[in-house]
């Protein structure tokens, strides 16, 4: 039994006992009072009648008339005169009426004690007169008094119950707030409540608020530590850009990931004769020059989605722009900005060269790097502040413009010319966690199925990405129904903002029945950063369906996700560029260990993406990862 019910039971029991006790005392007191009044009345009336009869000189006819007159007043049950010689005068009422319910008469019996007085003529005794008053009137008054007492006591009991209700409510509200606060803490939400007026509950609420603030502070400190570890593992401390390995991994992902852009550009920037510049300017001025070059490059990459900027070595920087074709004019603009930075910081002793090349999705990393190195070599041959562009042509994915794109997508979805890929995610024991299922669409009948890098830009441009995502979810649920294997499907950020997407998704999940419990939905990390409210809304809509919701390609800005603990997520997948080399890089391992601890503290499972080296798997398990995917796992 709950505490509130126990309190209510105490209140009700107290009120009932008080009511019953007061009511019983009232009835007993009223009964004793009425009986006393009857006894006194009988005694007084008997004495008065005996005095009157004694004045009649023993005339029985007159005494009989007086007895009859006294009885006819109607307030007597019996009036009798018993002579010493045996003669009797008596008036009796048969069937005494009771002005009260029969059950009340039986429960509260009244004993009308007879009043007896002696009748005499001087010193001569004539007899004894007996008077018994009518008890019906007494029952009437007693019943009325009982009813009135019951009404008043009921009113008092009702008022006591209302007071108890407000008192219990005053206790229940802060207790309920404390329970909600504790439940929110379990769900990773840090909720503080107002302190109640009750001193005991006030202390409890104050302690809970302090605990919530302390846990929140601990989480924020842990998130800050993870962010610091990420910077140490992936960023150059001097310039703040990515280190060599994360940069190359980012380029490799841009070339191979299914949802990457179909094309892009790579720009290499080299500080000429860095060793000589260091001798001429000194260590501090050279560091300032390198930082200025990096800052200029940052200014040209900010605002471009998925853009990456890294430092390959002491003198070389690389900028990667997925989805952006090579443009000679933009390269000239960047060269002019870098020239101004070198003149300001290098004092005429520093110069840079630039090279640009395009890439297509699916190209080998070595091919792109070789082409970029060749372009850089040609730029160096041209002299300081030279630039060289190589392979700027990017073929059209699907000719015909937006109308043709939309028609091709609609026809492909209507004819079900699409399929799901299947890439396993396994845990440390080798058990299958789920299958990653990127959607591939046959845009043109008879051609091969295209990855997301090809069809996603078309779907975004024609505002059909939500329809494609629902088709992927439906296909995954169909496959789950056939083999009962859990599957993960990607959702685009644009789908979250599409009108009615959540309702249509719930309908698809409801129609799927139990298969929905085996479905995993993945959102890009950028969705949680740029549209946290949409992610929270989707999480609320999926509650109760059994669907797991998480972030993919995460790690770069995970610690900066606003109120990550309130997103309602189930898992995160760390991008391959932060995972690569964990077996050999202590800084990477420390960052991943902190990330796993942070995620587990929020109740999230954490998985690694794109693991290519089997030696990295034991290191990931040691860092606390729940699973991994990639060539080393498959």
Do residues 546 and 414 share a domain? yes
Do residues 17 and 150 share a domain? yes
> Which of 91, 109, 14, 106 lies closest to 49 in space, CA to CA?
91
**339 is a domain residue:** yes
Q: CB 119: neighbour CB atoms within 10 A?
A: 24
Confidence (pLDDT) at 551: 94
The backbone region for 590, taken as left when phi is positive above 0, alpha when psi lies in -120 to 50, beta otherwise, is: alpha
Judge contact between 408 and 443, C-beta under 8 A.
Answer: yes
Q: Distances from the Cα of 604 to the Cαs of 551, 557, 566, 570, 625, in angstroms?
A: 10, 16, 12, 5, 11
Which residue among 159, 178, 199 closes a domain? 159
Per-residue model confidence as pLDDT tens digits over 64-108:
888 888 888 767 778 888 888 888 888 777 555 666 777 777 778
The three-point CA angle 131-133-136 to 5° equals: 160
The three-point CA angle 472-513-536 to 5° equals: 65
Residue 251 makes CB contacts below 8 A (sequence gap 6+) with 266, 308, 318, 320, 365, 368, 369
Do residues 405 and 289 share a domain? no
Separation of alpha carbons 192 and 106, rounded Å: 62
Q: What is the CATH number of the domain that holds 550?
A: 3.20.20.450
Instruction: Record the tokens describing residue 444, joined without a space.
Output: 């043109």
Do residues 425 and 513 share a domain? yes
Per-residue model confidence as pLDDT tens digits over 133-160:
877 777 777 788 888 888 887 888 788 7
Judge contact between 556 and 231, C-beta under 8 A.
Answer: no
**139 is a domain residue:** yes
Do residues 250 and 379 share a domain? yes
Do residues 49 and 140 share a domain? yes
Confidence (pLDDT) at 572: 94
Which residue among 569, 597, 614 closes a domain? 569
Do residues 421 and 514 share a domain? yes
- Expressed as residue numbers, the domain containing 72 is 3-159
Q: With cut-offs at 50, 70 and 90, classify the pLDDT of residue 394.
A: very low
**100 is a domain residue:** yes
Do residues 526 and 545 share a domain? yes
Reported as type and span, the H/E element at residue 511 is helix 501-512
Q: With cut-offs at 50, 70 and 90, classify the pLDDT of residue 397.
A: low
273 backbone dihedrals φ, ψ, rounded to 5°: 50, 60
Per-residue model confidence as pLDDT tens digits over 490-540:
999 889 988 889 899 999 999 998 899 999 999 998 888 888 889 989 998
> Which of 480, 467, 474, 463 lies closest to 511 in space, CA to CA?
474
Do residues 136 and 260 share a domain? no
Is pLDDT at 426 greater than 90 in this prediction?
A: yes
Using DSSP's 3-state secondary structure scheme, residue 320 falls into: strand
Separation of alpha carbons 564 and 558, rounded Å: 8
Distance of CA 344 to the CA centre of its chain: 53
**246 is a domain residue:** yes
**606 is a domain residue:** no
> 540-557: string of b/e by CB count within 10 Å (b at 16+)?
ebbeeeebbbbbbbbbbe
On average, the pLDDT of the chain sits at 84
352 bridge partner residues = 271
Instruction: Record the tokens describing residue 138, joined without a space.
Output: 């007494």
Which residue among 390, 418, 437 closes a domain? 390
> 607-633: string of b/e by CB count within 10 Å (b at 16+)?
bbbbbebeebbebbbebebbbbbbebb
Do residues 446 and 344 share a domain? no
Per-residue model confidence as pLDDT tens digits over 15-56:
778 777 877 888 888 888 888 888 888 888 888 888 888 888
- The pTM assigned to this predicted structure is 0.62
Domain count, the chain: 3
Instruction: Record the tokens describing residue 433, joined without a space.
Output: 């966690």
Do residues 310 and 431 share a domain? no
**224 is a domain residue:** no
Q: What is the CATH number of the domain that holds 281?
A: 3.30.70.270
Confidence (pLDDT) at 605: 94
> Which of 20, 26, 78 lies closest to 49 in space, CA to CA?
78
**228 is a domain residue:** no
**334 is a domain residue:** yes
130 bridge partner residues = 80, 116
Do residues 318 and 427 share a domain? no
Instruction: Record the tokens describing residue 142, joined without a space.
Output: 């007693």
Q: Pick the residue with more confidence: 325 or 55?
A: 55
Judge contact between 321 and 304, C-beta under 8 A.
Answer: yes
Q: What is the CATH number of the domain that holds 137?
A: 3.30.450
């Amino acid at each position: 039994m709950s505490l509130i019910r126990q309190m209510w039971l105490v209140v009700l029991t107290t009120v009932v006992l008080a009511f019953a006790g007061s009511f019983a005392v009232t009835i007993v007191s009223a009964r004793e009072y009425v009986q006393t009044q009857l006894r006194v009345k009988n005694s007084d009336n008997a004495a008065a009648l005996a005095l009157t009869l004694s004045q009649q000189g023993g005339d029985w006819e007159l005494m009989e008339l007086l007895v009859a007159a006294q009885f006819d007043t109607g307030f007597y049950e019996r009036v009798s005169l018993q002579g010493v010689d045996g003669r009797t005068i008596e008036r009796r009422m048969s069937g005494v009426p009771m002005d009260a319910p029969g059950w009340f008469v039986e429960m509260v019996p009244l004993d009308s004690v007879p009043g007896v007085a002696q009748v005499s003529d001087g010193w001569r005794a004539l007899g004894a007169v007996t008077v018994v008053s009518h008890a019906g009137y007494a029952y009437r008054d007693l019943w009325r008094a009982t009813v009135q007492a019951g009404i008043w006591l009921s009113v008092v009991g009702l008022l006591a119950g209302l007071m108890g209700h407000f008192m219990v409510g005053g206790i229940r509200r802060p207790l309920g707030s404390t329970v909600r606060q504790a439940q929110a803490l379990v769900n990773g939400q840090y909720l503080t409540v107002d302190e109640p007026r009750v001193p005991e509950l006030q202390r409890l609420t104050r302690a809970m608020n302090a605990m919530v603030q302390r846990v929140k502070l601990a989480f924020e400190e842990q998130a800050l530590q993870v962010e610091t570890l990420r910077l140490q593992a992936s960023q150059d401390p001097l310039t703040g850009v990515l280190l060599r390995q994360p940069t190359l991994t980012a380029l490799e992902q841009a070339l191979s990931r299914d949802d990457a852009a179909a094309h892009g550009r790579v720009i290499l920037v080299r500080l000429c004769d860095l060793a000589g510049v260091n001798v001429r300017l000194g260590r501090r001025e050279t560091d300032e020059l390198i930082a200025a070059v990096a800052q200029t490059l940052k200014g040209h990459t900010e605002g471009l989605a998925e853009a990456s900027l890294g430092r390959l070595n002491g003198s070389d920087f690389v900028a990667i722009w997925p989805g952006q074709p090579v443009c000679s004019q933009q390269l000239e603009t960047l060269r002019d900005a870098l020239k101004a930075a070198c003149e300001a910081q290098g004092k005429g002793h520093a110069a840079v060269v630039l090279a640009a090349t395009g890439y297509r999705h699916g190209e080998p990393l070595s091919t792109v790097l070789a082409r970029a190195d060749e372009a850089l070599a040609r730029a160096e041959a041209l002299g300081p502040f030279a630039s060289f562009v190589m392979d700027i042509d990017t073929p059209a994915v699907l000719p015909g413009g937006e109308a043709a794109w939309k028609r091709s997508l609609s026809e492909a979805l209507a004819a079900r010319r699409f399929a799901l890929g299947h890439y396993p995610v396994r845990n440390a024991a080798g058990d299958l966690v789920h299958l990653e299922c990127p959607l591939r669409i046959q845009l043109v009948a008879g051609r091969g199925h295209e990855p997301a890098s090809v069809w996603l830009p078309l779907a975004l441009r024609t505002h059909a990405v939500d329809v494609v995502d629902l088709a992927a979810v439906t296909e995954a649920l169909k496959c789950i129904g056939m083999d009962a294997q859990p599957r993960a499907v990607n959702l685009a950020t644009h789908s979250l903002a599409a009108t009615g997407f959540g309702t249509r998704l719930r309908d698809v999940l409801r129609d799927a029945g139990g298969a929905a419990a085996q479905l995993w939905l993945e959102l890009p990390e950028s969705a949680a950063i740029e549209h946290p409210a949409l992610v929270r809304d989707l999480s609320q809509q999926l509650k109760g369906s059994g669907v797991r919701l998480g972030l993919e390609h995460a790690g770069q800005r995970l610690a900066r996700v606003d109120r990550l603990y309130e997103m309602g997520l189930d898992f995160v997948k760390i991008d391959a560029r932060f995972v690569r080399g964990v077996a050999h890089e202590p800084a990477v391992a420390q960052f991943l260990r902190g990330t796993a601890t942070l995620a587990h503290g929020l109740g999230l499972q954490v998985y690694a993406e794109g693991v290519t080296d089997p030696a990295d798997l034991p290191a990931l398990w040691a860092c606390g990862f729940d699973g991994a995917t990639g060539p080393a796992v498959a």
